[in-house]
Amino acid sequence: MYIHLDRSSSTPLWQQIVTGIIQKIHSQKLNPNDQLTPTRVLAQELNVSRSTVQLAYDELLARGYVSTSRRGGTKVISSDQYVASTPHQSEPPFALPVRPHFDEAEKQMEHWLSANEFHEKLDIDFRHQEPAIDEHFQNIWKRSLMKALQHLDMKDWGYSSPHGLWEVRSEIRQYLSVERGINVEEDQMVLTGARSKPLT
């Protein structure tokens, strides 16, 4: 599979590979169910490291252009299974969300802990921290989201049971049975978002 790489460009090679493959998909040079060249072979053809090609394939998977399996390799998926993003050369920097009053609240928490004579004995620190939203985190969530969306039924787009998701209650039932020795059925459970809701 020929992909032009400009080694003098400031755009990383893996991103050029992503753009090249997306262009082939949009121009129908790659069709649904077409298998992409294995990473090791494509790395040799393009004279790049295998990790560079693997990074490009991971990005295509995260964007929903391809699917992967151990037996079938990496294949282009049907256009009705993904929302195609336009090819681009560089990703915009990820901006942290605005957090009004958060910094002030964090300072107050720090002050409270420093004034508390028992704070050194605390086993768990409940202070607010920055969420892990680095690039690796985003790629994992994008892949997980696309995988989940591909298996959704129409009923999954509506409201769930007021007792809570059946799958979650099933996992809780199994946990209670194995870890706690408590036998309970799913229809005996009610999942709530807070402690006060069941009391009202």
- Whether residue 32 contacts residue 79, with contact meaning beta carbons closer than 8 Å, is answered with yes
How far apart are alpha carbons 112 and 107 in whole angstroms? 9
Q: What is the pLDDT of residue 195?
A: 63
| Number of CB atoms found within 10 A of residue 171's CB | 12
Distances (CA, A) of 13 to 43, 46, 53, 106: 11, 10, 9, 41
How far apart are alpha carbons 121 and 92 in whole angstroms? 44
Work out the percent of the chain whose per-residue pLDDT is above 70. 68
Work out the percent of the chain whose per-residue pLDDT is above 90. 6
pLDDT of residue 106 exceeding 80: no
More confident residue, 75 or 104: 75
Once rounded to an integer, what is the mean pLDDT over residues 2-20?
89
Once rounded to an integer, what is the mean pLDDT over residues 150-178?
81
Q: pTM above 0.75?
A: no
- Whether residue 50 contacts residue 15, with contact meaning beta carbons closer than 8 Å, is answered with no
Angle at 198 between CA 194 and CA 200, to 5 degrees: 105
Alpha helices, H only, the chain: 13-26, 39-46, 50-63, 102-115, 135-150, 166-175
Mean of the per-residue pLDDT values for the chain? Answer: 76
Q: What is the pLDDT of residue 92?
A: 46
